[in-house]
């Protein structure tokens, strides 16, 4: 007879890693939980994957399914095919998925079809824009999961509207913010400021950070060129550090180079260097989901280069402003920040560094342990 809850934790892409790190740490401390970690291999490059494991002390995955890059259907299908035998062999009591990437939905679907319970961390977020692949992944994962852990109040309303029972929804805070609080002291020791010529000792100059990787922004060269023209104008006022995602890098070659010498294109950064830059930036421009939340937690102004967000609390309570993709509007918003007319935010409820603890305690009390021996 088993007496421990066997939880299969799933990661696949870069943004999953700061979310899983505090959960695995907490599970390993808990005598009633046997955690295993499975990597789908959706991201495989060291700068998007390995460096995060090393820096955040995430244990090596038990299995890597090595699916690699492909179209959505092929990637999702490969994960389904490769994870099913593993689920049958391991027979976990629970599969835990985070976020909204293809790995999240694919493993949830395979588990649900085998009658294995699913917990979704970061449930209920909705951009109401189904042209985003992540929105489809979010809706479907939430429809399959029995345990829905949410980061903000709007998510509860979204899930209830979709008919999910209130007793399956748990408002626990934000595990990615657990990682920020845990790693910020170490990140502040990073030498990235000196390396990029932004800092001398503890003195930093004003600079902006830019990230762009949403298909809607970077897959069209016209759109990308338009966004970069705004960035060129902003770079007349302060240096812009631009760690370039592989998806964007391919397109940049076609879109032509950024003209202003103050736009510094660099390789994707590891977690600690990037967190250091975020925490010191005068302003952040991004189309990422997670960075909207990280800047809110850090109290740094964020201009989101999208028409919508699935994380409305970063707007209503945090430092985030949706500025869309019109170059004139982006430049105006950046100038406002630089003229100290920025939005002052506060930290949303329960974004206090203890979300993983709450999730693990909840799982221990609500998930039944199957009384058969695991295979
Ligand atoms: C994926 C997620 C997105 C997340 C982003 C973070 C989905 C649908 N999208 O988007 O939600 O915000 O990760 O980075 O799950 N590539 C490499 N090395 C790698 C992985 C990918 O060079 O390790 C290149 C490949 O050429 C690939 C392209 O990047 O075709 C895009 O990768 P993919 O995983 O398909 O989507 P992302 O844009 O990274």
Ligand 1 centroid to residue 43 C-alpha, Å = 6
pLDDT number for residue 257: 64
CA atoms of 311 and 124, how far apart (whole Å): 10
Check the CA dihedral 112-358-16-47 and report its sign: negative
Q: Classify 167 as helix, strand or coil.
A: helix
Ligand 1 centroid to residue 195 C-alpha, Å = 27
Reply yes or no on whether the pLDDT at 375 is more than 60.
no
pLDDT number for residue 1: 63
pLDDT number for residue 261: 79
pLDDT number for residue 3: 87
Judge whether 213 counts as a catalytic residue: yes
Reply yes or no on whether the pLDDT at 104 is more than 60.
yes
Stretch 111-134: mean pLDDT, rounded?
Answer: 98
**Percentage of the chain with pLDDT > 70?**
97
Nearest atom within ligand 1 for CA of residue 99: 11
Stretch 295-324: mean pLDDT, rounded?
Answer: 98
Residue the block writes with tokens 């990597």: 39
CA atoms of 318 and 339, how far apart (whole Å): 19
**102 within ligand 1 shell (Cβ under 6 A):** yes
Stretch 141-149: mean pLDDT, rounded?
Answer: 98
Stretch 141-156: mean pLDDT, rounded?
Answer: 98
Reply yes or no on whether the pLDDT at 258 is more than 90.
no
H or E element in which residue 275 lies = helix 271-280
Provide the β-strand partners of residue 5.
Answer: 33
Choose one of 246, 251, 267, 305 to mutate for the ligand 1 pocket test, by most ligand atoms within 8 angstroms of C-beta: 246
CA atoms of 164 and 264, how far apart (whole Å): 46
CA atoms of 223 and 221, how far apart (whole Å): 5
Ligand 1 centroid to residue 69 C-alpha, Å = 7
Nearest atom within ligand 1 for CA of residue 101: 15
**Percentage of the chain with pLDDT > 90?**
91
Instruction: Assess contact for 101 and 14: CB atoms under 8 A.
Output: no
Stretch 149-164: mean pLDDT, rounded?
Answer: 98
pLDDT, tens digit, 9 for 90 and up, residues 44-74: 999 999 999 999 999 999 999 999 999 999 9
Q: Which of 127-141, 215-229, 256-270, 295-309 has the lowest mean pLDDT?
A: 256-270
Model pTM? Answer: 0.96
pLDDT number for residue 374: 44
Provide the β-strand partners of residue 148.
Answer: 120, 169
Query: Which residue is closest in CA terms to ligand 1's atom 31?
Result: 247
- The residue annotated as part of the active site, out of 39, 120, 213, 354, is 213
Q: How confident is the model at residue 153 (pLDDT cuts 50, 70, 90)?
A: very high
CA atoms of 132 and 51, how far apart (whole Å): 27
**134 within ligand 1 shell (Cβ under 6 A):** yes
Q: What is the mean pLDDT of the chain?
A: 95
pLDDT, tens digit, 9 for 90 and up, residues 159-194: 999 999 999 999 999 999 999 999 999 999 999 999
Ligand 1 centroid to residue 51 C-alpha, Å = 16
Give the HSE-up count for residue 246: Cα atoms under 13 Å, Cβ half-sphere.
10
């Amino acid at each position: 007879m088993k007496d421990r809850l066997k939880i299969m934790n799933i990661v696949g892409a870069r943004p999953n890693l700061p979310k899983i790190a505090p959960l695995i740490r907490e599970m390993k401390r808990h005598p009633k939980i046997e955690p295993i970690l499975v990597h789908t291999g959706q991201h495989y490059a060291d700068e998007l994957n390995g460096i995060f494991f090393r820096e955040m002390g995430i244990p090596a995955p038990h299995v890597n399914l090595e699916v690699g890059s492909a179209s959505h259907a092929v990637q999702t299908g490969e994960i389904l095919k490769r994870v099913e035998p593993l689920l049958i062999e391991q027979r976990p009591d629970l599969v835990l998925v985070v976020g909204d990437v293809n790995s999240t939905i694919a493993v949830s679907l395979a588990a649900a079809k085998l009658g294995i319970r699913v917990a979704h961390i970061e449930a209920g977020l909705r951009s109401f824009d189904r042209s985003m692949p992540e929105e489809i992944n979010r809706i479907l994962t939430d429809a399959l999961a029995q345990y829905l852990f949410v980061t903000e109040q709007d998510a509860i309303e979204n899930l209830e509207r979709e008919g999910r029972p209130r007793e399956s929804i748990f408002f626990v805070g934000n595990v990615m913010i657990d990682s920020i609080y845990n790693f910020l002291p170490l990140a502040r020791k990073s030498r990235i400021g000196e390396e990029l010529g932004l800092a001398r000792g503890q003195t930093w100059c004003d600079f902006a950070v830019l990230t762009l990787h949403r298909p809607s922004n970077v897959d069209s060269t016209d759109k990308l060129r338009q966004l970069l023209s705004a960035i060129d104008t902003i770079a007349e006022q302060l240096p812009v550090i631009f760690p370039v995602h592989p998806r964007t890098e391919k397109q940049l070659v076609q879109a032509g180079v950024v003209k202003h010498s103050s736009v510094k294109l660099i390789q994707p950064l590891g977690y600690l260097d990037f967190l250091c830059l975020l925490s010191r930036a005068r302003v952040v421009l991004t189309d990422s989901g997670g960075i909207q939340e990280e800047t809110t937690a850090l109290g740094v102004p964020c201009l989101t280069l999208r028409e919508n967000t699935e994380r409305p609390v970063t707007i209503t309570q945090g430092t985030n402003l949706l500025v869309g993709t019109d170059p004139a509007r982006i430049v105006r918003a950046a100038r406002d920040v630089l003229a100290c007319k920025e939005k002052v935010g506060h930290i949303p409820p329960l974004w206090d560094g203890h979300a993983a603890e709450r999730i693990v305690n909840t799982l221990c009390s609500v998930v039944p342990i199957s009384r058969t021996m695991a295979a």
